[in-house]
Amino acid sequence: MMDQLIINANLREKRFAFVKNGEVEKVYIEQPGQQSLVGNIYLGIVENVIPGMNAAFVNFGEGTSGFLQKDRLPSFILSEDENKAARPIGSYVHQGEKLLVQVEKDAAGTKGARLTGVIELPGENIIYMPKGKYIAVSKKAESTETRARWREFASKVKTSEEGIIFRTESLHQPEENIIRELEQQRNQYAELVKSVSAMKKPGLVFSRDYFFEQALTALTTVKNGSVIVDDLEFKKKIEPYIPETIEIEFYNGKPSVFSFYKIEAEIERLLKRIVWLDKGAYMVIDQAEALTVIDVNTGKFSGKTDLRDTVMKTNMRAAIEAARQLRLRDMAGIILIDFIDMKSNDERDRVLKTLQKELIHDERRTRIVGFTELGILQLTRKKTKQSVAETLTEKCGTCGGSGQVLSSETMAYRLERELWEYKNSDYEEILISATDEVIRHFSGDGDIHKLRLETALGFRIKFSVSDAAKPFYKILQVGASTEQG
């Protein structure tokens, strides 16, 4: 079967799914207000310097202050002092100081964003660090000679303060292309510095189109198949990056593109605790702020020979599915997998190798720590953004935060998609019962989104307020206008 990259970009909530051999391998969802800030550059003001933590808290204009460690300060990186690591952070930064910062990791829970003062400007072939004092060559370089050649080239073209990271794509480029790109990035940085000089308060200086970048990354995994897009503007933007071997299609059917390709059902499953394996075996996934626990159970499954055979078959299946769920749900941080108890180290090694093999497909960095004395497998997965559950759900006020419901925003976007399916119908008006917050998110300030949809769909949208305890909507009536002429 062919690969498919299905992109739903025609509404405010943007999503894509990568499907391989008929199975969803990756889902990415970006809601307004929840876009990843990773890579964005800000003017920040240092609020507090904490010597005991060797770090500072920086107001960068996004609500909660960000966390900046000493070794991520340009003044530290560029210092020629041989004993600089032993000197306190107060030697390199002070309270009230203004500085450019870039987000390395999004805020999560009560933790603010992690920041760096070592700015990186990504290009097609190189990543440029104006004050990085660093040279690196892609690990995919064919040989040590290739790495050495590019390192020598970098030392000739960069200043002592600058840093350059050579991407894999750069290794087969002529040197003049790299020099041209370096000059462009130097000019880009000069423009950033110029724009900052006019700013009086902390705030955004440079923003990445993170959804587009993530879609391009997913595109590299499509080996043979098609890209399906439901937005003409996005199709036009991504088309130049699509190889000739891959088809691009524009989808304009009545059901949303995710409904048509059955991705909505997969998203519903990603919010459930129980994941079914073959023959009645299952896993239970519990996500907390600090860690994720995956518990493996045989259920009704029993192997053909004995209990030990059953345990191994279930654990092997669970290892493959656990790796897939980590990617799909974008779970990160500390992850504990409680496999069914195995009697020997050889059995544990087999399960471990199966998981390692599956994690090769993961674009995020994972590290398997090993089994504890209790037989629980520990691993970590790098976090750069919210998980799917964190994006789509909010703490439920009706259950004291012990459970989760779909957020008002998500319900508003679902309603938006459902109404889109009534486009070009003969209806004059649709009456909807919904909770206040769903109506507010759906309608926008001054009803801007509601009015835009009414114009696009060709009928009026009327609401009656529901007092349901959770975010809710229901289409009550479709038909002729209830207004009196």
User: Which has more confidence, 425 or 453?
Assistant: 453
CATH class of 399-479: alpha beta
**Does residue 200 sit in helix, strand or coil?**
coil
Which pair of tokens denotes residue 434? 């919904």
**Does residue 108 sit in helix, strand or coil?**
strand
Q: Which residues contact 395 (CB under 8 A, 6 or more apart)?
A: 401, 404
The Cβ-side half-sphere exposure at 77, using a 13 Å CA radius, reads 19
CA distance 136 to 119: 15
Which pLDDT score is estimated for 171? 81
466, 12, 37, 402 alpha-carbon torsion, rounded to 10°? 30
Architecture of the CATH domain 3-35+209-266? 2-Layer Sandwich (3.30)
pLDDT tens track for 80-93: 988 999 999 999 99
Q: What superfamily does domain 41-206 belong to in CATH?
A: Nucleic acid-binding proteins (2.40.50.140)
- CB count in 10 Å sphere of residue 217: 13
Which pair of tokens denotes residue 86? 């032993």
Question: What does the chain come to in residues?
Answer: 485
Question: Does residue 302 surpass a pLDDT of 60?
Answer: no
**Does residue 161 sit in helix, strand or coil?**
coil
CA distance 310 to 164: 52
Is-above-0.85 flag for pTM?
no
Which pLDDT score is estimated for 325? 93
**DSSP-derived secondary structure letter, 111:** B
**DSSP-derived secondary structure letter, 425:** -
pLDDT-based confidence at 398, cuts 50/70/90? low
Which pLDDT score is estimated for 305? 55
